[in-house]
């Protein structure tokens, strides 16, 4: 009996997880002028419409650049912080850790609103610069956390071992610590990229005229139209994300970590 109930709840769970995607996926091929399920007819027009809408194409490139740049910068800044937090206990290291987790704990809308006000105070700032700073700030705690986790699994004495065998501190770090952080860095990269690429609340506040991220464009498109173009775009984004994660796993060896 237990196993039957478990089986039923599993089906329900999967239904709720995958159901919406299946509906969106099917609706994106429907010939109706508005979103409908079950779809009637078959057309690729909505996909064509995605590529013909310059707003989507422009904001896709902005989101892509933004996600890549802010992920890489947050990784570069996160690595030394993670290293210091894992290897050394110093006065106030607990406070530092808490402050670095704040962007995970504070609601995104609050962060976006606060940053908008802060950047306005700072004066004339390019919209892209604002978006870049905002995204880097929200990704930073993720990269610190994920890289810290991979470092905690590494015996702290391996560095001493490398030094006792004749490597200087820097060389020991490069030859022994860095290779073992690789999986953590890869995981932080994928997580950071997806977090930035999907972010709405912070981007909503920091976007400006002509500079909008893809999720924000999608949201504003939905305010005016209810045709399946968004469904087609969503289908494309799911495929894009799956391909990206697969590629990252191949190239960076994510599977060792997850």
Q: How many CA atoms lie within 13 A of 74 on its CB side?
A: 32
Which structure tokens are listed for 200?
């709405």
Q: Which is nearer to another protein, 20 or 179 (CB)?
A: 179
Q: What Å distances lie between residue 198 and 44, 213, 218, 235, CA to CA?
A: 25, 9, 11, 14
**Of residues 171-210, those binding another protein (CB under 8 A):** 171-172, 175-176, 179-180, 182
Least distance CB 254 / another protein (angstroms): 15
DSSP annotation of 106: S
CB of 163 to another protein, least distance (A): 5
Q: Of 129, 238, 251, 115, which is closest to residue 189 (Cα–Cα)?
A: 251
Cβ proximity to another protein, 179 vs 210, nearer residue: 179
Q: Which is nearer to another protein, 139 or 185 (CB)?
A: 185
Stretch that binds another protein, among 106-114, 116-124, 159-167, 230-238 (CB under 8 A): 159-167
> How far apart are CB 75 and another protein at their closest, in Å?
19
Indicate the residue among 35 and 82 with the shorter CB distance to another protein. 82
Establish if 155 lies at the interface with another protein (CB under 8 A). Answer: yes
Q: Among residues 65, 164, 246, 255, which is the contact residue for another protein, using CB under 8 A?
A: 164
Question: In the bound complex, what is the minimum distance in angstroms from residue 156's beta carbon to another protein?
Answer: 8
Q: How far is CA 103 from CA 22, 98, 141, 191, 258, in A?
A: 33, 10, 7, 15, 23
Identify the three-state secondary structure at position 208.
strand
Among 7, 160, 208, 258, indicate the residue that binds another protein (CB under 8 A).
Answer: 160
Binding residue for another protein (CB under 8 A) from 34, 98, 129, 168?
A: 168
Contact call for residue 52 and another protein (CB under 8 A)? no
Binding part of the chain for another protein, among 95-103, 132-140, 150-158, 199-207 by CB under 8 A, reads 150-158
What angle (nearest 5°) sits at the alpha carbon of residue 242, between those of residues 142 and 230?
100
- The two three-digit tokens of residue 198, written as one number: 């999907």
Cβ atoms within 10 Å of 201's Cβ, excluding its own: 17
100-119 residues near another protein, rule: CB under 8 A: none
Written as six digits, the tokens of 45 are 């027009």
- Residue 211: φ, ψ to 5°: -120, 100
Number of Cβ within 10 Å of residue 64's Cβ equals 16
Counted residue by residue, the chain has a size of 258
Q: Which spans of this chain sit near another protein (rule: CB under 8 A)? A: 154-155, 157-158, 160-169, 171-172, 175-176, 179-180, 182
């Amino acid at each position: 009996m237990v196993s039957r109930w478990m089986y039923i709840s599993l089906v329900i769970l999967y239904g709720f997880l995958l159901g919406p995607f299946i509906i969106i996926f099917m609706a994106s091929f429907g010939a109706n002028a508005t979103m409908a399920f079950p779809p009637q007819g078959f057309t690729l027009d909505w996909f064509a419409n995605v590529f013909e809408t310059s707003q989507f194409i422009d904001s896709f490139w902005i989101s892509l650049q933004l996600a890549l740049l802010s992920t890489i910068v947050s990784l570069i800044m996160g690595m030394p912080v993670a290293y210091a937090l894992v290897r050394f206990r110093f006065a106030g290291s607990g406070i530092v850790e808490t402050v670095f987790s704040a962007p995970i704990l504070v609601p995104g809308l609050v962060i976006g609103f606060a940053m908008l006000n802060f950047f306005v105070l700072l004066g004339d700032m390019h919209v892209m610069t604002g978006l870049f700073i905002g995204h880097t700030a929200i990704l930073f705690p993720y990269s610190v956390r994920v890289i810290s986790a991979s470092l905690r699994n590494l015996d702290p004495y391996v560095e001493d071992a490398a030094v006792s065998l004749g490597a200087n501190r820097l060389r020991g770090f490069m030859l022994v610590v860095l290779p073992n952080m690789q999986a953590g860095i890869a995981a932080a990269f994928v997580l950071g990229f997806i977090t930035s690429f999907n972010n709405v609340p912070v981007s909503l506040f920091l976007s400006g005229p002509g500079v909008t991220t893809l999720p924000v464009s999608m949201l504003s498109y939905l305010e005016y139209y209810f045709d399946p173009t968004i469904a087609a775009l969503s289908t494309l984004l799911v495929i894009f994300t799956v391909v990206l994660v697969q590629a990252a796993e191949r190239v960076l060896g994510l599977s060792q970590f997850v």
